[in-house]
Amino acid sequence: MSDLKQVFVVSAPSGTGKTTLNKMLVKNHSEIEVAVSLTCRPIRSGEVNGTDYEFVSEQEFQKNIDDGNMLEWATVHGHLYGTSKKQLTEIQKRNHYSLLEIDVQGWKTAKEKLRSATAIFILPPSLKSLWQRLEQRGTDSLEIRWKRLLNAKKEIEAADDYDFFIINDDIQKAYQELEAIIIKGEKGKIDRELGNSYCQKLLEEFERDPWFQELKGKTL
């Protein structure tokens, strides 16, 4: 898919704010369009089919995989998510730049097909702050929040294939950094080497900080 206009990939653990940041970017810049992902999970209250996700059955999703129509796909929290090739070509026809909101698994699948893409990983200032954000949502049980935290750990461990990293400790500041990379074509403040170093510091929280051990005792 080398004939596509510039493609940008934004990934982040659940609760880190990537969807909010991407919506801000699209609202302010009409030339950017988010590729709507397919999923077979149930639609949630307030979501719009075709806008938030394209909701399909598991059988239909699998058919897209079998027919070679998927750019990437992965199982996240027990449900299939993915990006179809059709989404990118449709955005291309509208002469827009594509913004892919995918996870680490998805990017590992897609990167060989999108070698010119710029990949950005959004990080929380700490894993404790990420846990607090998941709690503030008030939509998931303790068990689900725990699974999301462990998935965040796995994603951070595997986030070594991204060009730039952004620490979302302030939404406006994080947005300005994202906008500078995508709209202004600037290099990110945190490159791959620094980003991987920061990831290691986050992962040390699981071994070092008492809050994680206390939380682990409540969930097991």
SS3 state of residue 213: helix
Identity of residue 126: S
Q: Is residue 117 part of a domain?
A: yes
H helices present in 29-117, as ranges: 58-66, 85-93, 104-110
Q: pLDDT, tens digit, for every residue of 81-119?
A: 899 998 998 998 999 999 999 888 889 889 888 888 999
Q: Is residue 1 part of a domain?
A: no
Q: Is residue 214 part of a domain?
A: yes
> pLDDT at position 162, please?
95
Q: pLDDT, tens digit, for every residue of 117-176?
A: 999 999 999 988 998 888 887 677 888 888 888 889 999 999 988 999 999 999 999 999
Q: Is residue 2 part of a domain?
A: no
Q: Is residue 27 part of a domain?
A: yes
Residue whose C-alpha is closest to residue 29's, from 131, 178, 129 = 178
pLDDT of residue 219 exceeding 80: no
Rounded distance between C-alpha atoms, residue 133 and residue 112, angstroms = 33
Q: Return phi, psi of residue 126, to 5°.
A: -160, 160
**Using an 8 Å Cβ cutoff, are 220 and 150 in contact?**
no
Neighbours of 148 (CB within 10 A): 20
Strands (E), the chain: 7-11, 32-34, 38-39, 54-55, 70-76, 79-84, 97-101, 118-123, 164-167, 190-191
Q: pLDDT, tens digit, for every residue of 38-47?
A: 999 999 889 9
Rounded distance between C-alpha atoms, residue 181 and residue 196, angstroms = 18
> pLDDT at position 157, please?
92
Q: Is residue 126 part of a domain?
A: yes
> pLDDT at position 220, please?
61
Q: Is residue 21 part of a domain?
A: yes
pLDDT of residue 3 exceeding 60: no
> pLDDT at position 113, please?
86
| Mean pLDDT value across the chain | 90
Task: Tell me the residue range of the domain where 175 lies.
Answer: 7-219
If one compares 207 and 201, the residue with the highest pLDDT of the two is 201
Q: Is residue 19 part of a domain?
A: yes
> pLDDT at position 207, please?
80
> pLDDT at position 156, please?
94
The CATH code of the domain that includes 197 is 3.40.50.300
| Mean pLDDT across 169-197 | 95
**Using an 8 Å Cβ cutoff, are 211 and 128 in contact?**
yes
**In the chain, how many domains are there?**
1
The share of the chain scoring above pLDDT 90, in percent, equals 59
Identity of residue 186: E
